[in-house]
Amino acid sequence: MTQPANPHRRDFLRQSTLFSLGAGMASHATASWADPTAHHTASPIARVRSGRLAGQTEGSIHVFRGIPYGADTSIRRFQPALQELPWRGIRDALAYGPAAPQTGSEAPGSEDCLRLNVWTPALRDGGKRPILFYIHGGAYNNGSGSDPLYDGGNLSRRGDVVVITVNHRLNLFGYLYLAQLGSAALADSGNVGQLDLIQALQWVRQHAAEFGGDADNITVFGQSGGGAKIATLMAMPAAKGLFHRAWTMSGQQVTAAGPRAATQRAQLVLGHLKLADADALRALPMEKLLEAVKVRDPSRIENSGLYVGPVLDARNLPAHPFWPQAPAQSADIPMVIGNTHDETRAFLGNDPKNHALSWDELPARLEAQQYTDLLPSVVIAEYQRLYPHYTPSEVFFAATTAGRSWRGAVEELEARARQGAPTWAYQLDWYDRGGDAANLRAFHTLDIPLVFHNLQQPGSRTGSSAEAQRVATAMSDALLAFARQGDPNHAGLSRWDPYTLDRRQTLQFDTESQQSDDPRGGERQLYQQAPFIQRGTF
């Protein structure tokens, strides 16, 4: 039996309880070191393709953490993963699995990271529940599916749905394009992180009935990098048919990395590591390869790390996700595309200087951070016309949001509208005006605890007021309605119409949520004076 990593969950290991698994199935006893004074309850047992799993019941929801859906990728670095190895007996699924290799707060991670987590109201009951498959943010560089904000218990309980979160390969391990620099074994290297997600979705479809879900009703949803990964999956032929609805939050992928640009970045990695042979990267210690994540990207003004993301490799990704049109293979998939009103306050709002800018300081600061090549004087003049009451700092945060975080959402919405595909737009305007993050307003990531209805989880900055609960219920119920029926409308919302080019209908989530036509239309028109190219992709 695999022992759990978290000793605080040992009370779920039964000292003497036996579990009847049906005719011919073995019984499972608790490890002898379990706390004999703890209250013991029978673990829910799931049967998956590689063996049996013992989860735990939290409230009314059965939870299985750290389930392997693929083998250790260290022996398949830069290659598509193999299926996980089978195990004997019953494997405990009580603790989250390791994050992917990364330099963030979950560093260093492990190459044996292909794990997913399941929350479900019931097992094997023929329930045909909608399945919600969440892909975490952190760009393509960091993060995991085990953040407390992604706990699926409340969503599963409120909506009678199955919720799944996932870990997959990131940064250089998942997206470094070496196809033109090494052997044939590296042909898929630029997109193996995406291929991991496809493998996880295949696992979910295979095991839907085991966890009380419907294999023909899978909603993928994700925030920031998670939304971008979803947009990319919508254009990958191997992902066709693996999901049926898509909900993205502040995350878009309009263009992928071109093969020339992606190869140039791989050459920077080889140069940094003083290697001439791309295949030599396969044997490099994990920690050594991670050092190259910090190589400065040539396309960026600020001193940030190397951009890696999905690659237009004419193999796994034959076309840019949303350019010059939305992917035809996903035209019948209902989609929600959302953003927060003050996205960049999450990135730029922690610098006190940005909250006290003068008009003289604004142009240089704006030029460095808006990411769109328009004269700052033109941008500032238009914002002063649109919002004459704005301070220099308010112009700065609004313009950087419109110029770098919101543009991709507009591009995707327009592409879907031209296609006639069923698409809804939202904008989160609400924020906790009395909380410690009030100066960040509706910042990037604020919608995560609202959609999951996890207001009191660590990391949430929504507060738990009645107002916050109302907004969370509106957003969470919209997601649940969307997962169940392919339309986000529900009794707690005023009418939310699909997005069209003539009206640009957008649901503004706030204390009183309501639909508006083309909110921030003036800002949209201002930034559409410049062509949109996703940063880092060329």
Q: Which residues contact 360 (CB under 8 A, 6 or more apart)?
A: none
Instruction: Tell whether the model's pLDDT for residue 460 goes beyond 50.
Output: yes
**483 vs 323: CA distance, rounded Å:** 27
Catalytic entry in 136, 207, 341, 444: 444
Q: What is the total count of domains within the chain?
A: 1
What pLDDT does residue 344 have? 98
Q: Confirm whether 343 is a catalytic residue.
A: yes
Q: Is residue 388 part of a domain?
A: yes
Backbone dihedral angles phi then psi of residue 346, each to the nearest 5 degrees = -65, -35
Neighbours of 210 (CB within 10 A): 16
Under 8 Å between Cβ of 372 and 435: no
Highest-pLDDT range among 122-136, 288-302, 366-380: 122-136
Q: pTM higher than 0.95, yes or no?
A: no
Catalytic entry in 106, 111, 343, 412: 343
Residue 180: pLDDT band with limits 50, 70, 90: very high
Average pLDDT of span 442-463: 98
Residue 29: pLDDT band with limits 50, 70, 90: very low
Residue 303: pLDDT band with limits 50, 70, 90: low
Residue 304: pLDDT band with limits 50, 70, 90: confident
Q: What is the DSSP string of 486-532?
A: S----TTS---PPP-TTT-EEEEESTT-EEEESTTHHHHHHHTTS--
Instruction: Tell whether the model's pLDDT for residue 308 goes beyond 90.
Output: yes
Average pLDDT of span 3-7: 37
Classified as helix, coil or strand, 372 is coil
Q: Confirm whether 43 is a catalytic residue.
A: no
Average pLDDT of span 63-88: 98
What pLDDT does residue 119 have? 98
Under 8 Å between Cβ of 193 and 160: no
Q: Is residue 289 part of a domain?
A: no
Q: Is residue 520 part of a domain?
A: yes
Q: Is residue 402 part of a domain?
A: yes
What pLDDT does residue 261 have? 95
Residue 291: pLDDT band with limits 50, 70, 90: very high
Instruction: Tell whether the model's pLDDT for residue 41 goes beyond 80.
Output: no
Q: Is residue 343 part of a domain?
A: yes
**394 vs 383: CA distance, rounded Å:** 10
The tens digit of pLDDT for each residue in 484-512 reads 999 999 999 999 999 999 999 999 999 99
**130 vs 213: CA distance, rounded Å:** 6
3-state secondary structure 34-97: CCCCCCCCCCCEEEECCEEEECEEECCEEEEEEEECCCCHHHHCCCCCCCCCCCCCEEECCCCC
Q: Is residue 64 part of a domain?
A: no
Residue 276: pLDDT band with limits 50, 70, 90: very high
Neighbours of 358 (CB within 10 A): 9
Average pLDDT of span 398-415: 96
The tens digit of pLDDT for each residue in 239-252 reads 999 999 999 999 99
Instruction: Tell whether the model's pLDDT for residue 257 goes beyond 60.
Output: yes
Q: Confirm whether 444 is a catalytic residue.
A: yes
* Structural domain for 402, as ranges: 336-527
Instruction: Tell whether the model's pLDDT for residue 32 goes beyond 90.
Output: no
Neighbours of 528 (CB within 10 A): 14
What token pair was written down for 258?
Answer: 């071109």
Beta-bridged to residue 426, according to DSSP, are: 338, 507
Catalytic entry in 224, 330, 393, 460: 224
Instruction: Tell whether the model's pLDDT for residue 190 goes beyond 50.
Output: yes
Say which residue, 460 or 31, is predicted with more confidence. 460
**395 vs 244: CA distance, rounded Å:** 39
Under 8 Å between Cβ of 145 and 136: yes
User: CA–CA distance from 15 to each of 18, 64, 76 (Å)?
Assistant: 9, 20, 39
Residue 395: pLDDT band with limits 50, 70, 90: very high
Neighbours of 16 (CB within 10 A): 10
Instruction: Tell whether the model's pLDDT for residue 417 goes beyond 50.
Output: yes
Per DSSP, the chain holds a count of helices (H) and strands (E) of: 14, 14
The tens digit of pLDDT for each residue in 153-165 reads 999 999 999 999 9
- Judged by phi (left if over 0) then psi (alpha if -120 to 50, else beta), residue 210 lies in alpha
Mean pLDDT across the chain: 92
Instruction: Tell whether the model's pLDDT for residue 27 goes beyond 80.
Output: no
Instruction: Tell whether the model's pLDDT for residue 85 goes beyond 80.
Output: yes
Under 8 Å between Cβ of 423 and 498: yes
**235 vs 412: CA distance, rounded Å:** 13
Identify the CATH number of the domain in which residue 407 sits: 3.40.50.1820
**412 vs 425: CA distance, rounded Å:** 10
Backbone dihedral angles phi then psi of residue 304, each to the nearest 5 degrees = -120, 170
Q: Is residue 58 part of a domain?
A: no
Q: Which residues contact 35 (CB under 8 A, 6 or more apart)?
A: 10, 11
What token pair was written down for 462?
Answer: 């929504």
What pLDDT does residue 40 have? 36
Q: Is residue 447 part of a domain?
A: yes
What pLDDT does residue 28 have? 32
**152 vs 136: CA distance, rounded Å:** 13
* Residue type present at position 319: A
What does DSSP assign to residue 385? H
* Residue type present at position 380: I
